[in-house]
Structure 1
């Protein structure tokens, strides 16, 4: 692990103590509560993680959003996994990271996760008349007539 991510991780551990879990494999994986997302990702820019690679969602027991950030200078990659509350809401990072705009809309459309503060939270792939969210485990395909 490079010095940039080491300094960032030390700071995050100090601030969030038991509210953060960090695992090391090929990339650093940070597991957080969704309420801390905005503050944590703002710190990433201060430490040189200047590129939002992607955002996605996963449904294990509960739904979570997964973010990948990269430092183009040091070539480091960090993953952040934010567990969602029962309301299926998380704060939008599109103001801080404009490239998140379309990705958050896609997650909203396919998983039904609301991004609080998003400037244009509406479907992007499915038609407006579509009922449900097709990547959710509880989604049932309607029978054809």
Structure 2
């Protein structure tokens, strides 16, 4: 996406939510906008309803754990099929209590993506119609994609480092 389109998208968000933008980046030529967490659903609804932007397809919703910062990011990738524009929006939540509103009010397809993010990262989506584990067992007490657990079970005797060339 060329820089004029990127600037246009940022200006569309600034029309109504200028104070919500923390930073704008373009890693790998992919427009990424870091936002304050409080109004994320309203911002996405605005981009969905905007007469020109029409970001009406949720490509991805997932979590990213930043243990050194003590944060979990929620990353939303939206696609405007009419314009063939793609953007990434990120909000940051504290790792000790990651809570944000559900996006199922805008995109019904966010349901399973939010359940997966809850299952693997422990993010609670307030207002979600059925927030429970989707891929792991119900009685699991950890969230396995957080980078705070060892990669392998340290009590196993059948896996020695020398078996793997370490």
| Bucket of the pairwise TM-score, normalised by the shorter protein | 0.7 to 0.9
Q: Does the CA-based 8 Å contact 1:33-1:84 persist in structure 2? A: no
Map 1:38-57 → 2, pairs under 5 A: 38-45=41-48, 46=50, 47-57=53-63
Gaps of 5+ in 1: none
1:34-57 residue CA offsets vs partner (Å, 9 max, x unmatched): 112011101111221111001111
Could you tell me which residue of structure 1 aligns to residue 101 of structure 2?
91
RMSD across aligned positions (CA): 2.3
Q: Does 1:102 align with 2:112?
A: yes
Could you tell me which residue of structure 2 aligns to residue 27 of structure 1?
30
Gaps of 5+ in 2: 158-166
Name the larger-Rg structure: 2
SS in 2 for 1:56: strand
Following TM superposition, the consecutive aligned residue runs of length 4 or more in structure 1 with deviations greater than 3 angstroms are 1-8, 14-19, 140-145
Could you tell me which residue of structure 1 aligns to residue 74 of structure 2?
65
CA gap 1:71/1:132 in 2 versus in 1, 3 angstroms: same
1:47-72 residue CA offsets vs partner (Å, 9 max, x unmatched): 21111001111112211000100011
Q: TM-score with structure 1 length normalisation?
A: 0.87
CA gap 1:98/1:3 in 2 versus in 1, 3 angstroms: farther
Aligned length, in residue pairs: 145
Q: Does the CA-based 8 Å contact 2:13-2:47 persist in structure 1? A: no
- Provide the rounded CA distance (Å) in 2 between the counterparts of 1:132 and 1:100: 22
Q: Higher relative contact order by CA 8 Å / sep ≥ 6: 1 or 2?
A: 1
SS in 2 for 1:98: coil
